[in-house]
Structure 1
């Protein structure tokens, strides 16, 4: 269980849902980055997103419905980004300063409590993966990992990443964000901590290459029930 986000995605007060996204994880290895067998991130710089950069969804149903329009990689999963309320101001200020179109992010984070309500209504069966440090720059979310900060962070702060390339708890993410905001060698963003939730059920998408159909189940998966609401 990650600090600040309770088990079964029981989101406490003070955490806001930024939005949902669909991404395919991939292996990360190289100079200046941690080794991650399944990198999971909200940054568009480090993972493939559906259907294009900056694609956020307001609800689970919207995200899953959008997947029906595209061939989605088998490894793609539904994810959500949660942001501590005290860090929302800098994130929203950077969005508004950029003048970019972010209706989902602004509705949740700048919508007078909409993000808190949405966070409490998140779907079942989510997995808490860890925390990352992000910053918004003219339509893109950057990660501290794509700004070559990992090695310095290990040396200066003693932090490390888990198998998903994420920090283990909120304290580590808070310290990295504060440290990154004092530096002059990163993207000109306001760095903030965010928690990631992932649902491990494969996503239904537009038909692609033929696959073997699984045995029918008498119990519908959670995402099927949502789409039929």
Structure 2
């Protein structure tokens, strides 16, 4: 397991939003082609134990997955958001009326709650993405079909995981997306993903193979015209 520690929170630095477990997967269609798409977006890859699960600590995330079949490719992730973007994220979460308790506890703690938590040791920064919160879901610039325009107008492209290499292009992309009028009505923000290398395993439940038998196409893939290879 990597021992690289993400930068500690500070003025303007990234703050821990929460942890989640996800399964990177190949995605093609609608102009998207990624070998191992990895994202905090609710509508592009599978989350465990079910879509939309955020956890306050790594142990809570691992405990929640302990009684379900877990694919071998599943990993633990943390989402970090730069401090100056927190107010916009919190505003969108509260305006949606579908609160995310974990996200709000980390990003908008009650008075006297103390310093913001730091990511657990052992993770490594995987890359950056651009996200927006809308009606209880976190959306990505990728599920809003912005990737082709971003490549043409900004020269910004994502790697095989659908991630950007650093904060700078993510900041540029977020500002550009916020100036448009053809996306989800969200406040776009840059965010970093931290990954832990160790596989996530269920207690007493054998992990599923890395390449399980084909399953029915998720509704979000059908909605976006995405097909798994």
TM over 0.5: yes
Task: Note if 1:32 corresponds to 2:15.
Answer: no
CA distance in 2, matches of 1:187, 1:115: 34
The equivalences for 1:205-216 within 5 A come to 205-209=202-206
1:67 pairs with one of 65, 68, 78: 65
Q: How far 1:210 sits from its partner (Å)?
A: 7.9
CA distance in 1, matches of 2:59, 2:31: 37
1:108/1:115 contact within 8 Å kept:
no
Judge conservation of contact 2:67–2:204 (CA < 8 Å) in 1: no
Specify whether residues 157 and 80 from structure 1 end up closer, same or farther in structure 2 by C-alpha distance, changes over 3 A only: same
Among candidates 134, 144, 151, match of residue 131 of structure 2: 134
2:151 maps to what in 1? 154
Kindly indicate whether the alpha-carbon contact (under 8 Å) linking 2:134 and 2:184 is maintained by their aligned counterparts in 1: yes
Q: 1:196 to 1:109 in 2, by over 3 A?
A: same
Kindly report the root-mean-square deviation, in angstroms, between the aligned alpha carbons of the 2 structures. 2.1
Q: Match of 1:78?
A: 76
Q: Where does residue 213 of structure 2 map in the other structure?
A: none
TM-superposed CA distance for 1:174, in Å, is 0.4
1:195: how far off? 0.1
| 1:125-157 CA distance string (max 9 Å, x none) | 212111000000111100000000000000010
Give 1:17's aligned residue: 16
Q: Secondary structure at the match of 1:147?
A: coil
Greater shift, 161-170 or 130-139, is seen at: 161-170
> 2:16 & 2:85 partners in 1: Cα distance?
12
State yes or no: 1:190 paired with 2:171: no
Contact 1:15 1:116 (8 Å CA) reproduced: no
What is the aligned residue count?
A: 203
Offset at residue 67 of structure 1 (A): 1.1
CA distance in 2, matches of 1:50, 1:84: 25
TM-score, length of structure 1 as denominator length: 0.83
Contact 1:107 1:115 in 2 (8 A): no
Comparing both structures, which one devotes a greater share of its residues to helix?
1
Question: Is residue 46 from structure 1 mapped to residue 44 from structure 2 by the alignment?
Answer: yes
TM superposition score normalised by structure 2: 0.83
Q: Which runs of 5+ in 1 are unaligned?
A: 1-6, 212-229
The Cα shift of 1:28 comes to 2.2
